Structures are given as C-alpha cells and as structure tokens.
Structure 1
Amino acid sequence: MVCTGNICRSAYAEAALRDLLQHSHVLDVVVFSAGTDAVVGAAMESEMRGILRERYPYAAGTHNAQQLHEGALDEADLVLVMTREHRRRVVRRWPEAATKTVMLTDFCVAVSQPPAKHETDLSVMIRTAQQSASAGSLDVPDPYRATAEVHRRVADALDHDMRAIARWLEKSREVQSTRDTGGRG
C-alpha cells in the first residue's frame, strides 16, 4: 500500500487488511505500507488511528511511517497505490515496478467481479485492473489535516476496498485448494 506520507491512507489500509486476513485465516500474505514522501518514523495520524481502534481494535498497534524503496518493491508481488499521481511517481522512479503497480480502486473493481468471472491469478487481476484503469479512475482522497468527517469517509472507502481484497484472497485460496485436491477439497 502506497500513499504520500504513510501516516493516513496506506497505514490504515495496511492495518485493516492485516486484521481482515487474520480473521479469514489467510496467513501467507505479507502486507506492507510506505510513502512516496514518507514522514519517516512518524506514527499514524491521530484521527485515522482513532477510527482504526474503533473498527479494528486488535490491529491498532504501533505504526512507524516508512519511505518507499526499491527493496520493498522488489519483494512485492503487488503494489497498490492510492492515486494516479502515486502510480506515476512509482513507475517513473522504478520502471520495473510498472507491471505490478496499480491503483487500489481499480484493483478492487477487478477483484469484485461476479463469481462466474472470478479469477484467482494475481498477474491476471493486475493486468485486468491496469487495462480497465482510465482517467476516470478514482483516487483515494488524502484526509491529512482534513475534518473528522473526511477521515471517516476515507476510512469507509478503505474498509470497503480492504474487504474486497480479503474476500478475493480468501476465495482464491479456496479455489486453489480445490484445484490442488482435484475438486475434493
């Protein structure tokens, strides 16, 4: 998860998705967040941290903002960014990350397709999201220094998207298990 300062959107999304995956028993996914201009070492912004504590009480541990770096991108299978500008910045600095960097909202649209079209291959889902991306793709607004209401709206949108990703990962594991056991799993 990538945003600007790594103290609001990406930090919240990371913690929320970790919590959802743990409750779904999807334990083999590593979730990491960073910022394109991180406030390195800073805690999550207080308003977002408060919302996180309300909604995911066990996920509201400590957070230290991190700067996005090449090593993190090398290890990542998927890089979800909050805005078109974040994607441009990541791809401009690390062109090799272009094939795995996609806007969060585009990826969530792709993974929320009806079950008949459910795809479990991550690379296919990334390509689908990138192909469907357009100038009309929705950025996740930055709530930094905004009102409590803006923070809640952003958290609501992130919760929706994190639930979509968690459901897709859970379903992908079920489909893979069925394939591995020849339909007996």
Structure 2
Amino acid sequence: MKLLFVCTGNTCRSAMAEPLMRKRLQQAGLGGRVEVRSAGVAAMSGSPASQGAINVLKAKGLDGAAHAASPLDRELVDWADLILTMGQSHKRAILERYIEALDKTCTLKEFVDDDPQNLAILDEMGALQAEAQMKQSLFLMERADEVQSIQERYQRGAQGAEQELMRLQQQLEATVEAESSRMMELMGQLPDYEIADPFGGSQQVYDACAVEIDTLLAKLIQKLSAENHSA
C-alpha cells in the first residue's frame, strides 16, 4: 500500500505525520507493507520542516531536519493508493485538480472516524457525489457539440462566447441542485475534520498538534491492521 499525507506547505502537519506514521508502522510490523510519503498543495520544493516540527520529531527520536517539502503533483497522486489530508481545504484542492482521485482521498480525521452516525452520513454523501457526477457527465455528453463550439468561440475571443459559457456552467450546476443542497445539509451534521495548522505558533502549539496527529495515526494503524488481516 502507498500512503500519502497532504497539508498546505508540507513543512508542519504532513511533515510530522509522515515519520510518525513510519515509526508506528514499524512498531506494528507493517513497515514492509506500507510506503509513506507526504506533500503540500502549496509547497515550495525542498523547503525544510518548520523548527517546531523538527523539535517534535527529535523528541520522539526522529530526524525532522532531513525533511524536504514536496509539491503535490500528478505523479504523487497517481502513486498513492490512499491520500489522507490534514483538512477539508486540502481535500478540495486535490479534487479540483484531480477529480479521478475522489475514491482514494479523505481527511485523516474522516478516514479513521468510527462513529456509526457519522459513517452513515459519509456514505450518503458519497452516493450523492456519485449521482451528481453521473448527472453532470450525462449533461456534457448530450451537449458535447454545443460545449465544443462555445469553447472554441471563447478561445477565439468571439463576442458573446463568455456569456454563453457562463450560461452553460449555470445549467450544469442546476442539474445537481438537489444533490448540492443535501450535501450542504449533511456537512452541517458532521464533526470538524480539521487538524489546525500550527504554523507560526509556539512549540506548545506544535506539541499539541503532534499529539492529535499521533492519536489519529494510532487509529489508522488499527484500521490498516484489521484490513490486512481480513485480506
């Protein structure tokens, strides 16, 4: 299995999650079965981990100073079997660019959530997403010639093409109005799946963030171990 942790700059949250997860995998005897990497949706390639993250990892006997940030790209998305983000914004950013990763992308908190009520909500949301995708795909297929014509005219700068493109987008969004409304309703019933960014905070803030991440990783290990035994 190939596991990818994602945050914003890949210098704090995911930079801590990657080595912490490797350590837990070794302790659980899964080190040879799960590969772990990390990236950031707005990372600068090669940036070091923040000092707060380095201090956290050093206290756990891990070398955070060797970390070099990786920007999220298609190669990493294709490499991963499972993408776990530190927050909802990272999940949205991934799916906006790589919608094909929908079935393998979750927030870390969402993935390890074992509350039956929350799981039922997430299942319904997944079904709604699939229905919305099907409706929009059908809409675009039925109007393929029209869509192509408008796009070509827009690229040429033809008068009125931008307005036609906006009208088409509004029609596309209208096809999934019911699903979108229900999704918003369901999202309001879910807990907060965010892991707060410690960037710029004190060492105490970093320590608290690391405790939260490591607690979630313990649940992740249990889930992966259970799936491994049932396979």
Size of the alignment, in residue pairs? Answer: 162
Q: CA deviation at 1:48?
A: 1.1
**How large is the RMSD of aligned CA atoms in angstroms?**
2.4
**Distance in structure 1 (CA, Å) of the matches to 2:102 and 2:42:** 19
- Which structure features the higher share of helix residues? 2
**Distance in structure 1 (CA, Å) of the matches to 2:213 and 2:125:** 19
- The AA in structure 1 aligned to 2:219 is A
Q: List runs of 5+ in structure 1 lacking aligned partners.
A: 114-126, 177-185
Q: CA deviation at 1:168?
A: 1.8
- Partner-residue secondary structure (3-state), 1:33: strand
Q: List runs of 5+ in structure 2 lacking aligned partners.
A: 117-121, 127-185
The Cα offsets for residues 5-28 of structure 1, whole Å up to 9 and x where unpaired, read as 000000100110011101111021
Shift >6 Å, 4+ stretches: none
Q: 1:31 aligns with which of 31, 36, 49?
A: 36
- The AA in structure 1 aligned to 2:187 is S
Q: CA deviation at 1:58?
A: 4.2
* TM-score of the pair, normalised by structure 2: 0.64
Match in the other structure for 2:99: 95
Q: Greater Rg, structure 1 or structure 2?
A: 2
Match in the other structure for 1:172: 227
Q: Aligned ranges for residues 130-169 of structure 1 at < 5 Å?
A: 131=126, 134-135=187-188, 136-169=191-224
Residues 77 and 129 of structure 1, relative CA distance in 2, 3 Å threshold:
farther
* TM-score of the pair, normalised by structure 1: 0.79
Q: CA deviation at 1:162?
A: 1.0
Residues 129 and 85 of structure 1, relative CA distance in 2, 3 Å threshold:
farther
Residues 130 and 42 of structure 1, relative CA distance in 2, 3 Å threshold:
farther
Match in the other structure for 2:75: 71
